[in-house]
Every structure is written in structure tokens, then in C-alpha cells.
Amino acid sequence: MTLSLGKRSLCLFVYLLVLDGVAIFFFTRGFLLTRTELSVFSECSDVSNCPSCFDRSLKCHTEDQQAEDLAANRPTSGLLIDSHCTHGLDEGAKNVAAGTSKQVNDFNEGCWTLPAIKKAVILIIDALRFDFVAHSRNFNGEPKPWMDKLSILQRLVEEQNSTARIFKFIADPPTTTLQRLKGITTGGLPTFIDIGHSFGAPAIAEDNLISQLQRTGKRVVMMGDDTWMQLFPTQFSMAYPFPSYNVKDLHTVDDGVIRELFPALHRNDWDVLIGHFLGVDHVGHIFGVESPLMVEKLKQYNDVIENVATLLKNMSEPGGLLEDTLLIVMGDHGQTLNGDHGGGTPEEVETALFALSTHHNSRSSLPESLKSCEVEDPVIGCISSIPQLDFSASMSSFLGVPFPYGSVGQVNAELFDLVARDAVSSTTHVEDDTVWSKASLTLMEHYKEVLCINSWQVKRYFEAYSAVAISGFPPQDLARLTDLYSTAQNINTTERDLFCSWASSTDESSRKATRQRILDEVQKQVEAFREYLKAAAALARSQWTQFGIEWMVVGLSFLIASVVIRAAALRRLSHSGKQRWEAGLFPTKPLLINSIGASYPIIMLVVLHPLLTRTPLQPVVTYIRDNLSIVVVCVTVGASVMAYLTSSPRSFSEKKFRTLANEQKSDHRKWSWDMEVDFRSIAATVFVILHGFSLFSNSYIVAEESVINYLMASSSIVYLRYSIKARSKIVQALCFMVLVWVLPRVQTLALFKGMKAVDSSGPLYSTLASRNLLLQVILTCTTVVLPLLVVTWILRCRLGRSHYCAGRLWKTVRSGVSISYFLIGVYWIIMDLTNTEFITMDDDMMKIVRLYIPRIIYMTSVVVVLATITAVIFSWARPGVEVASSAKLLIETGASVAAGSSGTILLLMGRRGPLISMLVILEVWCFLELQAITTTSGSTDLSDAEDERKRVDKIVQSFGATADWSMVALQLFFSTGHSCAFDGLHFSAAFIGFDDFGFYQQGILLAVETFGASHLLPVFGLPVIILLGQNLLRSRGRDDERMVITEVTKGYLWFGTLRAIIAVITTASVCIQRRHLMVWGIFAPKFVFDALGFLVLDVLVILATAIFLIFRRPKQHEA
């Protein structure tokens, strides 16, 4: 196995990528996919297995005519007796049931519960903030422009005899539409992994409200967001989906919904109508909540809701088309003021639910103890909150369909009160206390029964889940729940006796007292049920972030192994001045032998499985056979790690090692870690450690941008100290300091926030752009054109003139880059001028500008990068290339790839791109200048050649520069407006140059936008930093090429090590904090970003190494 050093390092990087990939896959498997989805559906007939929730109700009514009187009220109030559970009723009760059957039949026959409503209109407003709905008086400070715009909702609630209520609706993070729709319909908790499917959502496999409606023969009509179609491809009787991915499109979905909504309301071909508006979400994403467009959108919805409510009122008379219809207006999640959502902050989690019942009873008959108060409104009283978990169960009970099998929510008391409150007492209009008390009793009886079914259903699900799932609920928790359940079941033993005594008594006052006692009893039981359901939901919430600890541990240890391997490789590389040591960088033979050798016995074990039955090994073998691929991967990778770490130079050749050791006796220190470190390395280590530790706390993760800026400032101080010490380049050091401060602040300028709104054509330009035309033009020139000119000038003149980049390749690259920069300038100028109506263009022209200029820029980037690669392959292999120029060629290649791809990245960064890139180039220039000081200031007494030789052997040599470079890359990530959260993704950037959504093209653009500036450019720039910084160009020794390769490989290894350490820390912190409140809001997104970024980095390093190190002709062949 005689691989050249370059090929060996490439192999090493590929191996590390595989290792990291496996590690992250294992960890993710344990961390993100935790809930077993049961594909069992609730059936109508299931309820026959239910315990005696109903039949014991009131056996003695026939004994008294009065009882019948009461009983007659009961079914009309909405829901009572499930048809499958009535067999326990005696003859008299059946008569009663028959007497009221006329009314009952109107509601279609209920399945588990009798329906309280016939139809439901559910209007979902995406990203509905709670303060859009609640009155501004409930919030501190001045009323904001977006408040009180849905005034119809407030009016409906405030008016006399109102049958409407507003609730605070609490979502579970992650607050993305798909996750929320799943949560709302299944009544379960989301699994985090689904967020990965956001671009291509699979259909819901679990039982859910929509499927239940379909199975019980209800017709569901959907209009709006096409996410519904992905979740429920076949369940709707009719659907009008509209595309949801193009966030710039504010109106298509809403206009479509409004167009279809009103005709549908007049038709009788549906039972549940779902309208999903997306406009508010899109306005938020593109313009932010504070934009005037938001107000416009809310006003539009206000009109729609007003019309729907009027229609409902007019058509809800008995026999009307919309009789017994419930109108619900709700949000799926909230949004921050910037229009972001996905996390778990109150702004994102709190949304609103508005319910309007067409029953004409405005008086609540709910006992005070069941009411809760979230917000105390001076006019409408309490606004209570409903978890989204409860929605599915509540709607199922109102519509009389079986509760979804996996729902863990409870039927909400206040919503139940609103929807199912006694219709009889309203028609009599008696404000008599007796009647009310009767109504209250009736309602509570119903609620108790519904909760009884609800609890039974939740209990059934928990039992089934524990039986099926690999990691079920802890037995002691389950036992506690069962206790709660049986307590609730057994509580009302006295109720029936009380009822009988009430029914038999004739004395009004004693009847009243008895009734009160019955009410108390019922209430006690209701509270017991609620307690059970609450405990169950809490248990589910805590357990369904149930982690596969074993997987996480395996993944984490592989990640740690990857760090260790990098360190080992670095150590081996630092001795690689001698050729025979290179083998240690990637010991091919031991790795292959060990990894194949380790997996062999396992496969043999499985093959021989039949022979091993009834031996003690059998369970192990069965387990292995069931998870064969994973076990094999695990063992192979583990064995390879062991092989790598144990393959010391000694094992390659003991003899050679000895002789080498004798040779090196004079310079004994080379055999140990060369700890001759400089101050900068120590400082860099401190900064890395600080950054690492900060990732254990959610506050620091949120403030990571400030942390990075702080550490960058610290390292700029270190450089300042160096430059003062060396008495040179103080200006550069000060510039670096200023740039470190300026760079992250560019993107926060109000300038770009305003501009962000302008880049989409729409009615907004009238408010924003018309503020001052001249100002706009000046802004465009100074923020886009000027920086572009500077950057081009630097690339064309400064870099071109310097002797590093003078080849033909660079000339080609230069012209390509100039063209794409010119086009970027043209693109933004035209966008600005048309938006300000300074020039008008017809649509075709606009389309060309909007679509084709970006595409040309993308193409140019691709061509330049490809050209560089081809040039590298062909020209470097040509004989006659000067040997000493290999470092030069490397620098040229790195600069070419970086410059070539910069066009695309610049465009995707948006309007602030040019300015930021100018600042970045300045910063990098300062950084480079400062590298020279720190490396030369150390040892001045050694001769040049000796100095170089000594330096190459040092393990920490490139560490300081690489650590600071890694920090620069991190700062770049944050200063281009990214953050480690899903709302930090710039979806709008993916639509530059494209109008329509395509999974691959938009995915690629989004990936380039996210990782381009912070991963691609730094990786390709790293050799430049290392080689220029160490002045390796000066040396012309015979080992020049080897030295260059060694240095670059070391640089990449250090870079990878640093990022691997960060990835390990993030992973470990996510693992440790897995029960943290913020785990889904903060830690998990951070983990996903870091893990993805780490893998992207690995891939890019492989690409870069391949380009730099492989495609060159070995030196020996030239001679």
C-alpha cells in the first residue's frame, strides 16, 4: 500500500466523513425519533368495551314522573347516551330515549358521544399571534398598529347575549405549520424528526380527527394551504389546495380560499369545512409583523370573518342550512415580530382560538371551579387557555365521532360549555335560578360522561402504547395513572342514590338541596377525571421526548472517537517529515483487516443462527439478526476506530522505528508532543474552551452571536498586543478590531430591514420607497454598487498584481467573477429603480431581469469553479511546472474556487451581500497581515531554512491561525443573518431567480445560502491563510511540496478538530439537557445545525483536499 501523502490524507478525510456520518446518524436515531406511531384507528364499536360510563346513569327515573321530566331535558342538551352503551338502561329509560329521539336524530347518530353540533366551519389563520385577536387593552404599552384589526371577533364576544368566546391557544413547539396540523388533528405530541420532512411531508399514519370524520361518513371540505393535502391525501371529500411554499406570494392562497369559501357555505355538501389562510404567515416571513401589509391582511380577514359570521347567523335558524354550526377561527402557531416561528418562545407558541356557537344561549352554566383565567379582560372577563393537544378530543366529542386513537388531550371544559350548553333553557328564556341550576347539572352530567369516555380512551391508548412500543411508560408512572383513573371511576357511588332520592322527593327545597349535592358529586368526579387526563398528558409530554439513550451514547462516542482520530492523525503528521511515517496518517491495511474482521463473526453468527437455537446465545443472536445492518455498521466502525488508534508506528515496522529513534536521539523532543506553544495558541485554546462551555446553556446558545463577537474581540486584542509588541502593523490590528465590531452590525441596520421589504414587488413600495427617491438611489449606490466595485478592484488589481495569482487560470476566473459582480449590481439597481417606479418595465422585461440575471450568475459560478478544477487537473499534470510553485498554485486554486463561488453567495445574501463581502475581505486581509507578525515574532535567531523545518514538525503550528479562522467563519455565519434555529433559515433567498418551488433547486440554493459564506468560503480559504501566514512561499527546499501538503492537511485536521469538538459539545449538551424545557426550542435546532454544518464541512474538506492535493503529478515522475 504505497499511497502518496495527499491520497492518504484524502482517504483519512473520507474515513472521517463516514465516521461522523455514522455517529450523527446514530445519535439522531436515539435523540429525534422517539415516539412509536400506532396505526390503530378508533372504531365506533370500541365503546362497547368501555366501562360503565353511561348505563348506570339514572336507573330510577321511571319511578317518578318528575324524573322523566328532568330526563327529558337531558338528551336535548346535546350529548348523552351512546347507542352502544344503552343496553343497560331499563325500559323506562328507553322510553325516555325514544321520546327525545326525534331531536337526537337531527344530529345524525353519534358514535361515542352524541354530537352537539351538526357542522363546523374551521378557519385557520397561519401564524396568528395572540395579540392579533385579543384586545389591545390586555397588553402593556401603546396599542401597536397590528392590534385590534380583527375587531369583528372582539365585537362578537363583547355583544349582548354573546355565544362567542376567545381563548388563548397554546401550541407545542416546534411551531411549524406541518407539525401543528399534525398535533391539532391527532391530539398527540409532535416528533421532532418530522421537521425534516417539512419539504416533503408524508401522510399522517396515525389516527386523527380528519380520518375519523371520513370514517364516520362526514364530509370534510378543505381549502387553502396544500400542506393539508400532504397530510391527508385521500380524506377530504373535496379540496381546493393552493401552493404554500412560495413565501413571496401573499395572496394566491387567501384569494383562493375566499373565492371558494362563500359558495361552499351555501352548499349542503359538507359537514366540516376547513379554510386555511396563509397570508399573515407570508407577510410575517417577508416583511415582518410591523409592516403595513400585515394590517391590510388582517383587515381583509376581518371582512371575511364578518361575512361568515353574518351568514352563519342568518342561516342558523331551525331548519336552516347552517343550523347548529360551530365557527372556529384559530391560529396554528404564533410568530415573532420578525415573522419567524418554529421555536418555543411565548410569542411563537401563543396563538388564539375564537369559537362562535349558533346556540342562542349566552349564559354559561359551568361551575366557577372549572374555569381558568389566563388573561383578565376588563370587558369580556377571563380569557382562558386551551392546549392544542385538546383540540382533537374536543372537536371529536362535539361532532360525535370517535376520539382519535392516539389523542392524549382532554375535552376542554369551557369550550364544551360554550358548544354543548343546554339549548332548552335558552329557548325558555327563564333566568330563574332553578332552571339554571338544572341546566348546570345537565351540562355537568354530560361533561362527566364525555370525560369518562375521554379518560377511558386515553387509558386504552396508554396501555396499547406500553404494550407495543419498545420504550413504553415507566411502570410506576402507569400505576399512578391507573390509580387516578380508578379513583375517578369510583367516585360517584352515591350519585345514583342521591338522584333517586331527589327524584322521589316532592319538597322543592329539599329537591334543591339534593340537586346541589348531586352537582357537587358530579363536579367532584369531573375534577377527578380532569386530574387523570392532566396527569396523562403530562406523562406523555415528558415521555415522548423519550430518548434512545443507547443510540445516543454510541453516536456520541463515535463523535468523540472522531476527535481523537483527528488528534492522533495530527500527531502522526507532525512527524511526517520522514516518509515512512505517512502510513500512520491512514493505515489502510490494519483498518481494512480489522473492520472486515470484526464484522465477519457477527455475520457468521447470524448465518449459523439455526444452530444456536436453545443456546444461551440465542437472544443475543436474535437481537443481532433483527438489527443486522446497524450492528454490523456499529461493530465495523468501532473496530476501525480501534485499529486506527492502536496502529502505532511500532506496529508498522519495529525495526525501522528503532533505527529512526536512534537517528533522532539528538532531537529527542520530537518524539513527544511538541509543546512549544505560543501565546496565541493558548489564547485560542481559552477561547475555544469558553465557546465550548457556553454551548451547555440555552442562554448562551441564544446569545451565541454575541459570544462569538466577544471572543473575536478578545482575539483581536491578542493580535493588537502582538502588533504593538512587534511595533508593526498596528493599523491593521486596529482595523481588524473595528471590523470585528462593524461586521455583525451591518445586517442589523434598519437600512436593510426597510430594503428587505422592497425587493418584492407589491403595494408596499408606495409606503417605503416613495419616502425619497433620491435617498433610495444613493442608498443603492453606496450599499451595493460601491462595495461591489471595491471587491472587484481588490480581486482584479490587488490580488492579480501580487505574485501569488498571476497565472492564466486567474485571468479567466477574474473575468468570470467581474461579470457576475457586474450582473449583481445591475440586478439590484434595476430592482430598486423599478420598485421606486423611477423606471417602469413591462412584465416580460421584469421577468427576464428577475429570473435570468440570477441564473446567469449561478451559471457563471459553476463554470468558474469547474474551469478551475479542469485547469488544476490538466495544467498541474503537465511536465515543466516549477516545483517550488506548488504552494503558489494551491493558493491560486483556493482563491479561484472561493472567488468563483462568491458570486452566487453574494447574490443569495441579498442586498447586504456586497457590503458584507467588502468588510469580510478587509477583515481577512487584516487577519492575513497579522498572521505574519505572530509567526515571525517568535523566533528570530534561527536561520530561515532551519526555522521552516522546525516549524513543520510542530504540532501546534497552524493551530492558532486555524482556531482564529474558524472563529472568523463562525462570525461570518452569524453576521450574514443566520442563527442556529429553523426560523433563521432564509427561505426567501431560495427564490432569487426562481418563481416556482422545486425541491432540489430551492433546496440547493437554501443550502448554499446557509452554509456558503460560513463553510464553503472558509474551507477553500484555509490553505491560503495557512500558507501565506507561514510564509512557506519563501522556502525552496527539496521538501517543499511535501511541506505544503503536510501544512494544508494539518490545517484541515485542526479545523475539523475544532468543529468536531464543538459538535461533540453540542451533542453532549443536547444529551444532558434532554429534559430541559427548551430542548426542542433551542438545543435541538442547535444540534441539527451543528451536526449538518459539521457534515457539510467534512464534505467540503474532502472536495478541497481532492482538488488541492490529488490532482497533481507526483514529483518523482517529473524528474
Partner 1 sequence: MEGAKVETRKREFSGKDAGSVRKQIADAHTQEMVHRSKPCAGKVGIVQALCGTGVFLGLWFVPAMMGYNLIDQPVETLRICFALSFPVLLISYSTLRLQPEICPMWWAAFRGLLSLPVGIVAASFVGTVFGAPISYESAVKTFHWAALISALTVVPVAVVVGGSWSTWHRLFARTEPDGPLELALCLSAHCAAIGSWVGAWPMPLDWERRWQEWPVCCTYGTVGGYLLSVIFSIAWYSANRGASSEGEKKKVN
What minimum distance in Å lies between the beta carbon of 552 and partner 1? 26
Contact status: 703 vs partner 1 (CB under 8 A): yes
In whole angstroms, what is the distance from residue 853 CA to residue 495 CA?
Answer: 78
Contact status: 748 vs partner 1 (CB under 8 A): no
Q: Are strands 164-170 and 385-387 parallel, antiparallel or unpaired?
A: parallel
Region near partner 1 per CB under 8 A, out of 539-547, 615-623, 734-742, 1034-1042: 734-742
In whole angstroms, what is the distance from residue 443 CA to residue 425 CA?
Answer: 11
How many CA atoms lie less than 13 Å away from 660 in the CB half-sphere?
A: 17
Contact status: 822 vs partner 1 (CB under 8 A): no
Contact status: 848 vs partner 1 (CB under 8 A): no
Contact status: 718 vs partner 1 (CB under 8 A): yes
- Which runs of consecutive H residues, i.e. helices, occur in 674-729? 679-694, 698-702, 704-726
What DSSP string describes 484-520?
A: HHHHHHHGGGTHHHHHHHHHH---HHHHHHHHHHHHH
Q: Identify the residue among 436, 700, 994, 997 touching partner 1 (CB under 8 A).
A: 700
How many CA atoms lie less than 13 Å away from 787 in the CB half-sphere?
A: 21
Nearer to partner 1, 617 or 686 (CB): 686
Q: 618-657 mask for partner 1 (x: CB under 8 A)?
A: ----------------------------------------
Binding footprint of partner 1, residue count (CB under 8 A): 35
Nearer to partner 1, 571 or 721 (CB): 721
In whole angstroms, what is the distance from residue 695 CA to residue 1086 CA?
Answer: 9
What minimum distance in Å lies between the beta carbon of 1065 and partner 1? 17
Q: Collect all residues with Cβ–Cβ distance below 8 Å to 710 and sequence separation of at least 6.
A: none
Region near partner 1 per CB under 8 A, out of 78-86, 117-125, 263-271, 715-723: 715-723
What DSSP string describes 309-345?
A: HHHHHHH-STTSTTTTEEEEEEES----TTS--SS-S
Contact status: 678 vs partner 1 (CB under 8 A): yes
CA distances from 615 to 497, 626, 983 (A): 62, 18, 54
**What is the per-residue burial (b if ≥16 Cβ within 10 Å, else e) of 388-423?**
bbbbbbbbbbbbbbbbbbbbbbbbbbbbbbbbbbbb
Q: Collect all residues with Cβ–Cβ distance below 8 Å to 667 and sequence separation of at least 6.
A: none
- Of 520, 481, 478, 482, nearest to 499 by C-alpha is 520
H or E element, residue 225: strand 220-225
- Cell numbers for 1048: 494544508
Contact status: 999 vs partner 1 (CB under 8 A): no
**Ramachandran bin of 108, using left for φ above 0, alpha for ψ from -120 to 50, beta for the remaining angles:** left
Nearer to partner 1, 76 or 697 (CB): 697
Contact status: 926 vs partner 1 (CB under 8 A): no
Nearer to partner 1, 221 or 919 (CB): 919
- Cell numbers for 506: 316532592
Nearer to partner 1, 20 or 678 (CB): 678
Bridge partners, 272 (sequence order): 120, 220
Contact status: 676 vs partner 1 (CB under 8 A): yes
Contact status: 98 vs partner 1 (CB under 8 A): no
Q: Identify the residue among 18, 553, 617, 677 touching partner 1 (CB under 8 A).
A: 677
Contact status: 725 vs partner 1 (CB under 8 A): yes
What minimum distance in Å lies between the beta carbon of 751 and partner 1? 16
**What is the per-residue burial (b if ≥16 Cβ within 10 Å, else e) of 433-459?**
eebbebbbbbbbbbbbbbbbbbbbbbb
What minimum distance in Å lies between the beta carbon of 392 and partner 1? 33
- Determine contact, residues 870/1107, Cβ cutoff 8 Å: no
What minimum distance in Å lies between the beta carbon of 961 and partner 1? 17
What minimum distance in Å lies between the beta carbon of 129 and partner 1? 22
Bridge partners, 125 (sequence order): 277, 331
What minimum distance in Å lies between the beta carbon of 373 and partner 1? 24
- Tell me the residue type at 280: V
What minimum distance in Å lies between the beta carbon of 697 and partner 1? 7
Contact status: 664 vs partner 1 (CB under 8 A): no
Region near partner 1 per CB under 8 A, out of 391-399, 432-440, 530-538, 673-681: 673-681
What minimum distance in Å lies between the beta carbon of 972 and partner 1? 17
Q: 764-803 mask for partner 1 (x: CB under 8 A)?
A: ----------------------------------------
Q: Identify the residue among 98, 713, 749, 775 touching partner 1 (CB under 8 A).
A: 713
Contact status: 674 vs partner 1 (CB under 8 A): no
Q: Collect all residues with Cβ–Cβ distance below 8 Å to 580 and sequence separation of at least 6.
A: 652, 653, 656, 660
Q: Report DSSP state, residue 83.
A: G
Nearer to partner 1, 603 or 751 (CB): 751
Contact status: 715 vs partner 1 (CB under 8 A): yes
Nearer to partner 1, 160 or 943 (CB): 943
Contact status: 697 vs partner 1 (CB under 8 A): yes
What DSSP string describes 135-200?
A: -GGGSSSSPPTTTT-SHHHHHHHHSTT--EEEEEEEPPSS--HHHHHHHHHH-SPPPGGGGGGGGS
Q: Collect all residues with Cβ–Cβ distance below 8 Å to 203 and sequence separation of at least 6.
A: 230, 231, 232, 233
Per the omega criterion (within 30 degrees of 0), is the bond before 1023 cis?
no
In whole angstroms, what is the distance from residue 173 CA to residue 153 CA?
Answer: 26
- Cell numbers for 136: 389591545
Nearer to partner 1, 493 or 706 (CB): 706
What minimum distance in Å lies between the beta carbon of 712 and partner 1? 9
Region near partner 1 per CB under 8 A, out of 120-128, 604-612, 733-741, 1096-1104: 733-741
Q: Identify the residue among 177, 489, 716, 904 touching partner 1 (CB under 8 A).
A: 716
In whole angstroms, what is the distance from residue 217 CA to residue 223 CA?
Answer: 19
What minimum distance in Å lies between the beta carbon of 928 and partner 1? 20
In whole angstroms, what is the distance from residue 776 CA to residue 832 CA?
Answer: 8
What minimum distance in Å lies between the beta carbon of 374 and partner 1? 21
Site for partner 1 in 929-988 (CB under 8 A): 938-941
In three-state secondary structure terms, 224 is strand
Q: Identify the residue among 41, 245, 696, 710 touching partner 1 (CB under 8 A).
A: 710
In whole angstroms, what is the distance from residue 817 CA to residue 819 CA?
Answer: 5
Bridge partners, 120 (sequence order): 272, 326
What minimum distance in Å lies between the beta carbon of 1050 and partner 1? 20
Contact status: 709 vs partner 1 (CB under 8 A): yes
Contact status: 557 vs partner 1 (CB under 8 A): no
Site for partner 1 in 361-390 (CB under 8 A): none
Contact status: 702 vs partner 1 (CB under 8 A): yes
- Which residue is it, cell 380512551? 457
Contact status: 717 vs partner 1 (CB under 8 A): yes
Nearer to partner 1, 515 or 691 (CB): 691
Contact status: 707 vs partner 1 (CB under 8 A): yes
Nearer to partner 1, 797 or 945 (CB): 945
Q: Identify the residue among 124, 209, 220, 683 touching partner 1 (CB under 8 A).
A: 683
What minimum distance in Å lies between the beta carbon of 790 and partner 1? 23
Q: Identify the residue among 193, 738, 1103, 1110 touching partner 1 (CB under 8 A).
A: 738
Nearer to partner 1, 673 or 679 (CB): 679
Where does this chain bind partner 1 (CB under 8 A)? 676-679, 682-683, 697-700, 702-703, 706-707, 709-710, 713-718, 720-721, 724-725, 727, 737-738, 740-741, 938-941
